[in-house]
Amino acid sequence: MSTPFPERVTEYYAALARRRDPACDPIAAQFVPQPSETDRAPAETDDPLQDHRYAPLDRLVHRYTDRALILTTDRCAVYCRHCFRRHFTERGSGAISEEQLNAILEYLARQPQVTELLLSGGDPLTIEPERFEAILERLYRVNASYIVRVCTRVPVVMPSRVDERLAAALGRREGLWLVTQVNHPRELTPDCAAALRRLQRHGVPVLNQSVLLRGVNDDLETLTALFKGLLQLRVKPYYLFQADLAAGTRHLRVSIEEGLELMRRLRMRVSGPALPVYALDQPGAGGKLNLEIAFHGIEGESYILRDGEGREYRYPRELPSAVYPSSEL
């Protein structure tokens, strides 16, 4: 990556860190840049999910027949150090333009098999609320029964932004879900809980996608507290993502062997609804791979993975580059 991924954090989120040292605080690790971000590990790329390959239009990723993902803005309230979409995030393009939106709407009108839209970015809820509501309105005019997933970290990093008005605007839309990203139980503050409750009170169901991160949540105690805490707030832990091979993120990755071992032990610890799917985004596979099913062993420097149709993938296996102390509650 030629230009470094910028640092940005809300006052609220920064205050959750007990120390501003990414090597020993699970919150700081998510927003304080580390020198190793400028290193590129051999397996890493700028666009690990190959968004470019599946982009029929600017700002649109159409990888699965029935689902399309719209890159609504390149801005976020906090730039997560593990961001896998850093080739797009904060590259200066800002919110989607009217021309880009018009082109996407025309495309969608010609693709009736698309029944589900993911609004991502960047973080869609950093868009000015009136504009965001106008975007929603236009999407639902293409198909009033779209299922829409708004993928946002705003409830976690800037919960005050999820006010009554925004929660009500989201709640008015049929089939709209909010998908957030809580990675550590300390992020489940009273403010965050209040934002989630506002959404739920207005009828918006909330799912969570966590990313498995070295020094943040790579231990059984933390993950147990995280998933139980989410369930208690009526948020379903949906995915636990294997961190993608994004340039400069190696120090944050956990190996797939460790991830599988954590899942095996978690299964004996938490209830069914508290357990997410340990998922990997393998470009070219029919969907995200459930690693507990897809994993078929190790051959040298590759993991052998199989998708639902039996197709085999070799996924790069890395050896740990550094040892960080594990996270604390």
Give the residue numbers marked as catalytic.
Answer: 63-64, 67, 76, 80, 83, 85, 244, 281, 288
- Examine residue 76 and tell whether it contacts ligand SF4 (CB under 6 A): yes
* DSSP secondary structure code for residue 159 in this structure: G
Q: Which residues, numbered 78-97, are part of the site for ligand SF4 (CB under 6 A)?
A: 79-80, 83, 85, 89
Nearer to ligand PLP, 8 or 67 (CB): 67
Residue type, 46: D
The H or E element spanning position 302 is strand 302-306
Question: Do 144 and 136 touch, CB atoms closer than 8 A?
Answer: no
CA distance 118 to 88: 16
Least CB distance to ligand PLP at residue 118 (A): 5
Window of 61-69, 98-106, 107-115, 252-260 that interacts with ligand PLP by CB under 6 A:
61-69
For 197, list phi and psi in degrees, rounded to 5: -65, -40
Site for ligand PLP in 78-107 (CB under 6 A): none
79 binds, among ligand SF4, ligand PLP, none (CB under 5 to 8 A by kind): ligand SF4
Tell me how many residues contact ligand SF4 (CB under 6 A).
10
d(CA 328, CA 309): 40
Member of 22, 26, 48, 121 binding ligand SF4 (CB under 6 A): 121
What three-state secondary structure class fits 204?
coil
Q: Which of residues 147-206 bind ligand PLP (CB under 6 A)?
A: none
Contact pattern from residue 104 through residue 123 relative to ligand PLP, giving x for each residue in contact according to CB under 6 A and a dash for the rest: --------------x-----
What is the rounded distance in angstroms from the CA atom of residue 291 to the CA atom of residue 278?
Answer: 6
Dist. CA 161–CA 165, nearest whole Å? 10
Question: Burial of 35 by CB count in 10 Å (0-12 exposed, 13-18 middle, 19+ buried)?
Answer: exposed
Site string for ligand SF4, 239-268 (x = CB under 6 A): ------------------------------
Binding piece for ligand SF4, criterion CB under 6 A, among 13-21, 45-53, 118-126, 168-176: 118-126
> Residue 85, exposed/middle/buried by CB under 10 A (0-12, 13-18, 19+)?
buried
**Cα–Cα distance measured from residue 323 to residue 317, given in angstroms and rounded to the nearest whole number:** 17
Query: Binding of ligand PLP at residue 64 (CB under 6 A)?
Result: yes
Q: How many residues make contact with ligand PLP (CB under 6 A)?
A: 8
Work out what residue 76 binds among ligand SF4, ligand PLP, none; the CB cut-off runs from 5 to 8 Å by kind.
Answer: ligand SF4
CA distance 20 to 18: 7
Which one, 80 or 270, has the nearer CB to ligand SF4?
A: 80
With tokens 């147990």, the residue in question is: 224
Which entry of ligand SF4, ligand PLP, none binds 64, CB below 5 to 8 A by partner kind?
ligand PLP
Positions 279 through 318 that interact with ligand PLP (CB under 6 A): 287-288
Cβ neighbourhood burial of 271 (10 Å; 0-12, 13-18, 19+): exposed
Query: Does 236 sit near ligand PLP (CB under 6 A)?
Result: no
Tell me how far, at minimum, the Cβ of 288 lies from ligand PLP, in Å.
Answer: 5
| Contact yes or no for 100/59 (Cβ under 8 A) | yes
User: Are the C-beta atoms of 40 and 1 separated by less than 8 Å?
Assistant: yes
Rounded CA-CA distance 114/29 in Å is 37
Binding of ligand SF4 by 59 (CB under 6 A):
no
Task: Report in angstroms how near the CB of residue 154 gets to ligand SF4 at its nearest.
Answer: 8
Residues that bind ligand PLP (CB under 6 A): 61, 63-64, 67, 69, 118, 287-288
Residues that bind ligand SF4 (CB under 6 A): 76, 79-80, 83, 85, 89, 121-123, 153
